A and B are shown apart, each in its own frame.
Chain A
Amino acid sequence: MKLLSTYLKEMKIAFRGFYFYIEVVMAAIILIILLVAVKESPVSKEKEFLFYDMDEEIVDTFFKKAFEDGTMVRVDPVDFDVKAQEIEITDKETGETKTKVFEKETITADAIEVYNPDTGELDKTMFITDTEEDMIRLAYSEKTIGAKIWLDDSYKSHYVYYTQGYETERMQSLLYILHNDDIKVLNDTADSLTVRKLGDVEVLNNRQNLVPPFIVLMGSMMGYFIVIAYIYLDKGEGVIKAFAVSPSAVWKYLLSKAFVIMTTVTFSSSVITIPVMGLQPNYLLFYVLLWISTFAFAALGLFIASFFDNMTKAFGILFGGMMVMMLPALSYFIPSFDPVWMRYVPTYPLMQGFKEIMMINGDAKYVLTQCGIFLVGGIIVFLLANVRFKKTLTV
């Protein structure tokens, strides 16, 4: 009863304060951006820089069929203005490193647009350079992968990839596997394989794909921030002292704060998710993960708030914490940047968890595992916050 009345009082204060409306307005802005500014299908900006070390006629035979069926279209050559560069190139197999220095110049590359045969959408644009050095310079400048392709005397294809150096081992291994043998052998092998589609697994469209990171941002991150703000508002008004001399337990005060955040986040996350995702997600799982993760992050906010007297003193760790928590968004949007340590940042599995929920036939087991981890972690941090607040409630 005391918990309920404390929660209702907190909700009343939240409705009369501006943090609640900041959260809702933010959610509305994000929704408008998603619906208006983000197209469902991505406009491909993917680029590949290739150097075919072979006669042009042979190159044309590579693409002949694709040109005929329209999945590849040769477009006007493109001029790239490349500034002066010093590029360090390391051979992964030998470990040998050499440095090349280039002057500023304009490089012209033939351009071929590649279209998805099923959707007709532009998948990527291939740029074919005249020299290997041009390919290296453009790949370096555009921060993407370049490749040199040539044929030996038996017309066997060979590939040399130029990567940026920060790609994951997994991605590099993939390149090895892809070209571990003669292209002919690979094709023969492929022909003998039967490819099966796994159920109705579908990827999220471009707009839907943005929902999980925004939910994490609006839910966990804002919850973490706002709960700290609420605590310092109470400290500023001194009401925390009045609570301390009442017969109600500290944990009820703290839990009521977490519940307010969970209520606010439920509202703001629904504002974003329901219009964009419709009925596709498993909403039961969605709200379970949302509530548990928000509780865990609110507990973290409470724990941090217990160490400082005011917002100014807490700001450093508050801001630093938010920055770290946002890093997994990089891996989410750039899969090739996926260092192992990143997976230990709590928002990493959280984004993946929400993504699974958004997908048809997503991995419910993974989501429930995350729920369990966040629940246990949240309870532990909440208990620690409770111990800290008992000591410092009146400071």
Chain B
Amino acid sequence: MISVKNLSHLYNKEGKPAVNNISFEVEKGETFGFLGPSGAGKSTTQGVLTGLLKLQKGEVNVAGYDVSHVQNKRFNKIGVSFEQSNVYGKLTAKENLEFYAKLFDVETRDAQELIDLVGLSGKENVRAGEFSKGMKHRLTFARSMINNPELWFLDEPTTGLDPAIAATIKDIINAQKAKGTTAFLTTHNMYIADELCDRVAFIIDGEIKLIDTPKNLKLKYGQKLVDVEYLEGGKTKKETFKTIDEADRNKLAEVIKKHDIQTMHTKEATLEEIFIQVTGRGLV
């Protein structure tokens, strides 16, 4: 669905490239996470893929279209949810979606259905200018689905949303994924990426450091640990055991046998920890 070969992009001719010779592919139906801190090159890459930025160097094919030849009709297959909400403040939620639907040449979804889907029921006739930041963000997100996109660009889809709404958005993304929609998710939130993505790419300083599935990354970079809290002599003690170490395994067995266990958790490395381990940099 997306093929990128040796993509580079410069904002200033004499400056450092925002994106430097990156290559990757996204398969149809896949949810691909593009992860990195602010200024890593995520938005630049998405800008080129969506045609908002002109392709300077490299080969990019999106939804069957070569992005070096601008063809507006390709957007019939594409949906874009922006990080910064961008809806007409003087139009109501419903008017925003209805207007946008008319720009497409393909069958579009019902505006009210989308409004209900993102939890804005009852607000359809309220002007978007009166919405909170989170509500605007949900409306922007809803708009990106208006044309039943085959390829869906999601830029920080849950940023600024309360946990309940964020959970709803994640459910919607998973539902679309189940329908076969390909998603290109740009985020610096590793938990979202972990939950939603089939594969993730770590990008930093304009370069992709690795691409793999979250599961493989955890297996490869994570330590297999068990955290145990138990009572000993009336006091609570806490210990961590490595399950790959024989002495630790034996000690863990002994603790379970002899003491009253309060809590016990297996502990995997998070994507964030792996990111830091791989790139040497945090995500902020």
Contact = CB atoms under 8 A, between A and B. Distances in A.
Interface of A: 1-2, 5-6, 9, 12-13, 16-17, 237-239, 241-249, 390-391, 394
B143 interface: yes
Contacts of B76: 247
Contacts of B131: none
Given A246-B104, A391-B54, A13 B91 contact: yes
A12 B89 CA distance: 12
B107 to A, nearest CB: 13
21 contacts: A1-B102, A2-B103, A6-B103, A12-B90, A13-B91, A237-B87, A237-B88, A238-B82, A238-B84, A238-B85, A239-B88, A241-B86, A242-B87, A242-B143, A246-B75, A246-B103, A247-B74, A247-B76, A247-B104, A248-B103, A249-B72
A242 B84 CA distance: 11
B72 A247 contact: yes
A248 B74 CA distance: 10
B230 interface: no
A243 to B, nearest CB: 8
Contacts of B284: none
Interface of B: 47, 50-54, 70, 72-76, 78, 80, 82, 84-91, 95, 99-100, 102-105, 127, 140, 143
A243 B50 CA distance: 12
A2 B101 CA distance: 10
A16 B96 CA distance: 14
Contacts of A391: 54
A16 B127 CA distance: 11
Nearest to A248: B103
B104 A241 contact: no
Given A246-B103, A249-B72, 18 more contacts: A6-B99, A9-B91, A9-B95, A237-B88, A237-B89, A238-B82, A238-B84, A239-B87, A244-B51, A245-B50, A245-B52, A245-B80, A246-B104, A247-B73, A247-B74, A248-B72, A390-B70, A394-B52
Nearest to B70: A390
Contacts of A247: 72-76, 103-105
Contacts of A9: 88, 91, 95, 99
Contacts, number: 72
Contacts of B90: 12-13, 16-17
A242 B104 CA distance: 12
B86 A242 contact: yes
Nearest to B86: A238
A239 B99 CA distance: 12
Contact of A394 (B53, B95, B105): B53
A313 B254 CA distance: 73
Contact of A246 (B72, B87, B88): B72
A238 B143 CA distance: 14
B206 to A, nearest CB: 20
Nearest to A246: B103
B149 to A, nearest CB: 10
Contacts of B50: 245
Given A5-B102, A9-B99, A241 B88 contact: no
A2 B82 contact: no
Contacts of A248: 72, 103
A241 B103 CA distance: 14
Given A247-B72, A247-B75, A242 B100 contact: yes
A16 B53 CA distance: 32
Contacts of A241: 52, 82, 86
Contacts of A1: 102
B53 A237 contact: no
Contacts of B84: 238
Nearest to A13: B90
Nearest to B82: A241
Contact of A5 (B53, B89, B103, B140): B103
Quick one: which of A12, A246, A248 has the most chain B CB within 10 A? Answer: A246
Quick one: which of B50, B54, B88 has the most chain A CB within 10 A? Answer: B88
Contact of A12 (B74, B95, B103, B105): B95
A235 to B, nearest CB: 10
Contacts of A5: 99, 102-103
Shortest Cβ-Cβ A-B pairs, 4 listed: A238-B86, A5-B102, A246-B103, A16-B90
B267 to A, nearest CB: 42
A157 B32 CA distance: 98
A238 B49 CA distance: 18
Quick one: which of A9, A238, A243, A248 has the most chain B CB within 10 A? Answer: A9
A318 to B, nearest CB: 23
A22 to B, nearest CB: 15
Given A17-B90, A239-B87, A244 B103 contact: no
Quick one: which of A17, A245, A390, A391 has the most chain B CB within 10 A? Answer: A245
Given A245-B80, A246-B75, A246-B104, A237 B86 contact: yes
A238 B85 CA distance: 8
B88 A245 contact: no
A238 B53 CA distance: 15
A248 B73 CA distance: 8
A249 B75 CA distance: 11
A17 B91 CA distance: 11
Contacts of A6: 99, 103
Contacts of B78: 245
Quick one: which of B78, B95, B100 has the most chain A CB within 10 A? Answer: B100
A16 B91 CA distance: 9
Contacts of B53: 394
B110 to A, nearest CB: 17
Nearest to A1: B102
A243 B127 CA distance: 19
A245 B91 contact: no
A242 B50 CA distance: 11
A16 to B, nearest CB: 4
A247 B105 CA distance: 8
